[in-house]
Amino acid sequence: MQNNKFGQIPMVDLKEEAKLLRNPLLTELTEVLNSGGYILGEKGKKLEKVASSYLGTSYSLGVGNGTDALILALKALDIGPGDEVITTPFTFFATAEAIAQTGAKPVFVDIEETTYNIDPEKLEEKITHHTKAIMVVHLFGQAANMQEIKRIASDNNLYVIEDACQAFGTEYQGKKAGAIGDIGCFSFFPSKNFGAFGDGGLVTTNQKVWYEKINILRNHGSEQKYHHAAIGMNSRLDEFQAAILLTKFIYLDSYLHKRIEIARRYTHSFNNLFKTPTIPERRRHTFHQYCIELDKRDELAKELNNNGIASAIYYPIPLHLQKAFHYLDYQKGDFPIAEKAAQRILALPIFPTLSVEKQDYIISVVKKFAENNG
Ligand SMILES: *Cc1c(COP(=O)(O)O)cnc(C)c1O
């Protein structure tokens, strides 16, 4: 990547964030050091409380990462070999990987062209007597059509698991993502909307039985030391990450608001040039990613790179065409909307500390490209 007057503009700037939060972070982290407890301690408990109250769920459980959150949700619902779970092919690999890890079979359904999320209209025909759950993904920070998905789930006696790993703070009809289905799953991977400075995850639910089950499963199937009631996992959120997240919680809504503002400016500038994100009514898109769509995607990425601006493709290969899922026997052409998006989509830099000056520079480079390639 070349330099420009700002140096280089990355997709996300975690260094800047750490610099701004350095003092409150050090205070919180020192408290952990002074406590001498590093796993399943006071910070983790406090974070679970704060998260439940923010998200509007009865229970939250800190876990090792977002992938484990998904696996634990599936295990709590007794999903495993012989079961099918319906999900989207246009997501990060971990969504379907988690399903396969339990021994269940991922079954893909194509996406909506507007939101890039699973298309409820194509969902019902994929339900068989093996189907146990729908795992929806709120991709890029935009909620899926939960009303339709919940209706289909309830008509067919299926669970709804929300992969909200890209959607902390996202809203759908006044409710937070992760608080709408049966179980919600979040990732605190550093580059996410609400990230730690290491791995971390969260499971949310309103059901006490599932809460109790996951509470045991995340800790080797044990509630009481050396008494193991189930085959579980080792997947807990550590105290340092919880402390970092507690510090960042104070800034969460202002940071999400900044993302939304940056997205508005992009859309205002690009509306007539490319396909920009669609936001259906009564939804709060929190813009984990800001994506545009265009034929000359690779050329624009190259032009941005030549001007010192990062961009990224989420996701270049839909999951049904991944080598790891060859055994599912899907073909090219099975999910045309997802395949088309994979060819055309491009994510631009978006993060809370992206300055107006830098964004104006990005916009000017993109606009100039559009003029020369109209
Ligand atoms: C990041 C992500 C995951 C996995 O989260 P990790 O914390 O990295 O394990 C799962 N699903 C989606 C949609 C993600 O973006």
CA 103, 107, 113, 114 dihedral sign is negative
The stretches in the chain having pLDDT less than 70 are none
Q: Same domain for 236 and 258?
A: no
Q: Same domain for 133 and 238?
A: yes
Q: Is 339 within a domain?
A: yes
pLDDT of residue 374: 74
Strand 131-137 versus strand 84-87 pairing type = parallel
- Domain's final residue, options 200, 227, 249: 249
Q: Same domain for 52 and 102?
A: yes
Q: Is 162 within a domain?
A: yes
pLDDT of residue 95: 98
pLDDT of residue 274: 95
Question: Angle at Cα 370 formed by Cα 365 and Cα 371, nearest 5°?
Answer: 100
Q: Same domain for 143 and 26?
A: yes
pLDDT of residue 19: 95
CATH code of the domain containing 285: 3.90.1150.10
Of 43, 132, 192, 248, which is the active-site residue?
192
Does residue 117 come out as left (phi exceeding 0), alpha (psi in the -120 to 50 range) or beta? beta
Site to substitute for ligand 1 among 189, 192, 203, 291, most atoms within 8 A of C-beta: 189
Q: Strands of 303-373 (E only): list them.
A: 345-348
- Domain's final residue, options 249, 272, 289: 249
Q: Same domain for 25 and 46?
A: yes
- Domain's final residue, options 249, 268, 301: 249
pLDDT of residue 167: 98
* Burial class of residue 164 in the structure, from the number of CB atoms within 10 Å of its CB (0-12 exposed, 13-18 middle, 19+ buried): buried
Ligand 1 atom nearest to CA at 98: 10
Residue 31 corresponds to which tokens in the numbers above?
């408290």
Instruction: Write out the residue range of the structural domain in which residue 264 sits.
Output: 251-372
Q: Same domain for 261 and 343?
A: yes
Sequence-ordered list of residues with C-beta below 8 angstroms from that of 59, at least 6 positions apart, any chain: 48, 52, 204, 205, 206, 207, 208, 210, 211
Strand 183-187 versus strand 159-163 pairing type = parallel
Report CA Rg, the chain: 21
Distance CA 289, CA 303 (A): 20
Q: Is 259 within a domain?
A: yes
Any catalytic annotation for residue 43? no
Number of H helices, E strands in the chain: 12, 14
Q: What are the distances in angstroms from CA 245 to CA 93, 194, 218, 252?
A: 25, 8, 19, 9
Q: Same domain for 245 and 257?
A: no
Assign 63 to helix, strand or coil.
strand
Instruction: Please tell me the residue having the least CA distance from ligand 1 atom 7.
Output: 66
Q: DSSP letters of 324-341? A: GGGGG---TTSSHHHHHH
Pocket of ligand 1 from Cβ distances under 6 Å:
65-67, 91-92, 94-95, 137, 163, 165-166, 187, 189, 199, 201
Q: Same domain for 126 and 59?
A: yes
Q: Same domain for 265 and 344?
A: yes
pLDDT of residue 2: 81
Phi, psi of 346 (to 5 degrees): -145, 130
Q: Is 365 within a domain?
A: yes
Q: Is 26 within a domain?
A: yes
Q: Is 147 within a domain?
A: yes
Q: Is 11 within a domain?
A: no
Measure 350 CA to ligand 1 centroid, in angstroms: 18
Q: Is 93 within a domain?
A: yes
Q: Same domain for 143 and 262?
A: no
Q: Same domain for 39 and 178?
A: yes
Please state the domain count of the chain: 2
Question: Angle at Cα 353 formed by Cα 287 and Cα 238, nearest 5°?
Answer: 75
Q: Same domain for 232 and 123?
A: yes
Site to substitute for ligand 1 among 71, 87, 162, 166, most atoms within 8 A of C-beta: 166
Amino acid letter, residue 156: N
Query: Are 66 and 165 contacting, i.e. CB atoms less than 8 angstroms apart?
Result: yes
Query: Are 142 and 285 contacting, i.e. CB atoms less than 8 angstroms apart?
Result: yes
Does residue 231 come out as left (phi exceeding 0), alpha (psi in the -120 to 50 range) or beta? beta
Site to substitute for ligand 1 among 139, 187, 203, 289, most atoms within 8 A of C-beta: 187
CATH code of the domain containing 92: 3.40.640.10
